[in-house]
């Protein structure tokens, strides 16, 4: 990858982040967490989601709290092991994000 390709990639990512922020009020790290949950049948333990996120624990917790307050994810305790926190999202939100990405790709 040469410098021009890298610049084009970064410009594209910046455009995506601006659109996602404008439409949903979230950044790319928030989006990453939503996609991690979505890729695991819309339910995953908080510990597993953290492992996949490549974020620091404090940053991950801040993003999870933000997404929860915005209503993009749900938190609940595992019925079998109440020490485990389960994160989930709904498919409607994931579909809406995918639709928005398809619009961005056309720009």
Confidence of residue 29 (pLDDT cuts 50, 70, 90): very high
For residue range 50-85, what is the model confidence (pLDDT) as tens digits? 999 999 999 999 999 999 999 999 999 999 999 999
Integer Cα distance of 104 and 107 in angstroms? 5
Determine the structural domain holding residue 88 and report its residue range.
3-106
What per-residue confidence (pLDDT) applies to 104? 67
Residue 97 has what pLDDT?
A: 80
CATH of the domain at 45: 1.10.10.10
Provide the whole-model pTM: 0.84
Helices 46-53 and 28-38: crossing angle in degrees, nearest 10, is 130
Crossing angle of helices 28-38 and 91-106, in 10° steps, is 130
CA-to-CA distance for 77 and 20, rounded, in angstroms?
29
List CB contacts of 66: < 8 A, sequence separation 6 or more.
26, 30
pLDDT digits (tens, 9 = 90+) for 86-99: 999 988 888 888 88
Q: Is the pLDDT of residue 13 over 90?
A: no
In 3D, which of 34, 24, 45 has the Cα closest to residue 89?
Answer: 34
């Amino acid at each position: 990858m040469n410098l021009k390709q890298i610049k084009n990639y970064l410009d594209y990512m910046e455009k995506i982040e601006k659109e996602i922020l404008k439409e949903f009020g979230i950044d790319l790290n928030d989006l990453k967490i939503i996609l991690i949950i979505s890729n695991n049948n819309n339910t995953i333990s908080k510990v597993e989601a953290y492992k996949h996120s490549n974020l620091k624990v404090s940053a991950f917790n801040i993003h999870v709290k933000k997404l929860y307050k915005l209503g993009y994810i749900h938190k609940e305790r595992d019925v079998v092991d109440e020490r485990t926190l389960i994160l989930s999202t709904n498919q409607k939100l994931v579909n809406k994000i995918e639709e928005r990405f398809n619009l961005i790709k056309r720009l």
